């Protein structure tokens, strides 16, 4: 697992949609300690898919997803986890549409539109109209989400658009 995490961090392994069955049957997964396996299991369950960055999160902090989907009393927050699963499933399709749209409009990106001009789905941050980032999400980084090259409007609360060109998590 240590080598896999090293490869992910170095960019030698980049897979935002890993084959869960294949990974679960791998010796890397089976030889890891139970806490890390439980964390990876929860990451896959909550996200509806497993991304390489989730493995790194679990390797760094086996309680990362437990803490993220647990309320202040220590009770697992199934409602938030369920909502996140729904959001992640719909975002896959949205991301494909965004990528097609961006390839058609390459070079024609502007951040003149503000998020107040957009009507997002309920519970989603209007600063990111092409994907759904929950308005109740804690501060996130591009490392925390599986999406790249999506439209960003002001205000960019999570600072996904580091260069101010209207495109978040470019890569």
Integer Cα distance of 168 and 27 in angstroms: 35
* Alpha carbon distance, N-terminus to C-terminus of the chain: 25
Q: What is the pLDDT of residues 60-75, one digit of tens each?
A: 888 887 777 655 444 4
So what's the pLDDT on residue 73? 45
So what's the pLDDT on residue 65? 76
- pTM for this entry: 0.45
Number of Cβ within 10 Å of residue 76's Cβ equals 12
């Amino acid at each position: 697992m240590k080598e896999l995490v090293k490869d992910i961090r170095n960019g030698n392994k980049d897979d935002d949609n890993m084959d869960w069955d294949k990974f679960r049957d791998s010796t890397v997964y089976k030889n890891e300690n139970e806490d890390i396996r439980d964390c990876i299991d929860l990451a896959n369950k909550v996200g509806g898919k497993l991304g390489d960055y989730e493995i790194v999160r679990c390797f760094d902090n086996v309680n990362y997803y437990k803490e993220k989907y647990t309320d202040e009393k220590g009770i697992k927050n199934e409602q938030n986890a369920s909502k996140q699963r729904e959001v992640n499933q719909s975002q896959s399709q949205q991301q494909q549409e965004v990528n097609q749209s961006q390839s058609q409009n390459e070079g024609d990106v502007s951040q003149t539109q503000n998020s107040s001009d957009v009507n997002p789905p309920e519970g989603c941050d209007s600063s990111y109209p092409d994907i759904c980032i929950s308005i109740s999400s804690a501060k996130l980084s591009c490392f925390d989400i599986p999406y790249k090259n999506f439209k960003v409007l002001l205000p960019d609360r999570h600072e996904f658009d580091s260069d101010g060109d209207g495109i978040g998590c470019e890569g």
